Amino acid sequence: MQLSNIIQVGKLLDRPEFATYITILGRPIVSEIIRSTIDQYKNQIMETQHSVDLDELTSQITQQLHFVMYEKTQPVINGTGILVHTNLGRSPIHQDIWDQAGETVCRYSNLEFSLIDGKRGNRMGMLNRVIRAYFGAEDNIIVNNNAAAVHLILKTFAIGKEVIISRSEQVQIGGGFRIPDILEESGAIMKEIGTTNITTLDDYLNAITENTAMVLLVHQSNYFIEGFTEQVDPKELRKHLPEHVMLVVDQGSGNQSPLLRDETTVSYYEKLGADIISFSGDKMMGGPQSGIIIGKQEYIQKIKKHPMMRVFRPGKETYALLETLLITQMNDKNSTVNRTEWALKQPLSWHKSLAEELAQKIGHNVKVIKSEFLVGGGTTPKAKYPTYALEIQSKQSADDLLTFLREQPTAIIGVIHQGKVLIYPISLLSSEYDYVAQVLAELKDAQ
Ligand SMILES: *Cc1c(COP(=O)(O)O)cnc(C)c1O
């Protein structure tokens, strides 16, 4: 079979049906997909002894291109009712913040240059002051993410030393970040105390030896224990720890809002005298991926000097975004740049009106129902807040409907609850309302 003569990658590549794919995916990527699909097609032809059908081949290529298209980073519409959604990019960065930071990032900047004396400057620059003003504590440092923050803290203070941690806080967060693994990898010696549901002050105090570096409190990110439980009040713990034992908190979410129920704030730990606190910049804060470490100056300075600091330091865009975000928020308490905080402030009547307005735009195939939204991303799963959701009435199965929504030009991500697809207006951006309404309105015809 002279297939290679009949089908040439180059010729297919120039067909008009692939032009858009080339623009979106890049010429070499499309070329490679065409080549591999031709190879598969050749095998099919040999096995089945069919003749070459160019239309069939083209449609197989298009299908492959379509799959790859889904892999490309692209916006999706979050209708899940989970505000900080780990799989959907956590918190969206506000456009104004992005644009402002862009003015610095897209040009040369004073990232490591002092405009005062023209010499080498400090990478943290003014951000150090901004974080102190926003979160308190004597000093701070930024790394690439909170996992790196925890790792670096352990590496700096606990190699070959004991780290006391409650069994109830041996958590795994999302994609394989396990506290015990991080501890082991850093070279610290883990000393587990208490049980899954009960840890007492005495458990902590009895575990302390001369070789104890720190007590590590880890926020119970994605689960909670109910019933017969006992946790130690961090204030009590602080009071009773001997001088050589540090109190380190992996606070996780970066929450600073009193509106978040059952969630401590970063400031709470800072005020009670924790030595070091770390948290993510892209959960409750709504900033870029980053790990923020705040605490007593002597400790932060030690972390700064650790050789691994160079490995974990973030890029310039992270500093610019965090600085702009926090300054904007400190100057305007009603600012909407932190979406999660903004959403928590909206009264229930607002949620209801929004859902009803959308339902009206869509027509008769949705029902407004009472429901609850979640903050998500490293906050307790107990933290549920009342809202209204759109329940889609459709003859299609819920799974088919979810797929249909996901296959829209901009994917809409819904959830299934009691056999029905729900879309939560509270997690949509306001710029997406009309698009979502339009897609759902057209669904009527698709039934
Ligand atoms: C999210 C989280 C982490 C990991 O933070 P990343 O910024 O994703 O690296 C670690 N600890 C806790 C308690 C968390 O909630």
What would the mean pLDDT of 102-114 be, rounded to a whole number?
Answer: 97
E strand residue ranges, 219-323: 246-252, 276-280, 291-295
pLDDT score of 173: 60
Mutation pick for ligand 1 pocket among 146, 154, 169 (CB with most ligand atoms within 8 Å): 146
Which pLDDT band, with edges at 50, 70 and 90, does 445 fall under? low
User: What is the rounded end-to-end Cα distance, in angstroms, of the chain?
Assistant: 46
Q: What is the pLDDT of residues 144-157, one digit of tens each?
A: 999 999 999 999 99
CA nearest neighbour of 79 among 363, 296, 401, 341: 401
- Spacing, Cα 89 to ligand 1 middle (Å): 14
Judge contact between 245 and 209, C-beta under 8 A. no
Is domain 95-331 given the CATH code 3.90.1300.10 in the classification? Answer: no
Rg (CA), the chain: 27
Which pLDDT band, with edges at 50, 70 and 90, does 260 fall under? confident
- Spacing, Cα 291 to ligand 1 middle (Å): 8
- Residue 35: which residues within 8 A CB-CB, separation 6 or more? 9
CA-219 nearest atom, ligand 1 = 13
- Spacing, Cα 287 to ligand 1 middle (Å): 14
Give the predicted TM-score (pTM) of the model.
0.92
Q: What is the pLDDT of residues 191-223, one digit of tens each?
A: 999 887 888 999 999 999 999 999 999 987 655
Which pLDDT band, with edges at 50, 70 and 90, does 227 fall under? low
CATH number of 77-88+340-446: 3.90.1150.180
Q: Residues with beta carbon inside 6 Å of ligand 1?
A: 145-147, 173, 177, 218-219, 221, 250, 252-253, 280, 291, 378
- Spacing, Cα 217 to ligand 1 middle (Å): 13
Judge contact between 88 and 76, C-beta under 8 A. yes
> Domain extents for the chain?
3-68, 77-88+340-446, 95-331
What would the mean pLDDT of 6-12 be, rounded to a whole number?
Answer: 78
CA-290 nearest atom, ligand 1 = 7
| DSSP classification of residue 115 | T
The answer, yes or no, to whether residue 77 has pLDDT greater than 90, is yes
pLDDT score of 3: 57
**pLDDT > 90: percent of the chain:** 78
What would the mean pLDDT of 420-443 be, rounded to a whole number?
Answer: 96
CA-171 nearest atom, ligand 1 = 13
- Spacing, Cα 280 to ligand 1 middle (Å): 6
pLDDT score of 258: 86
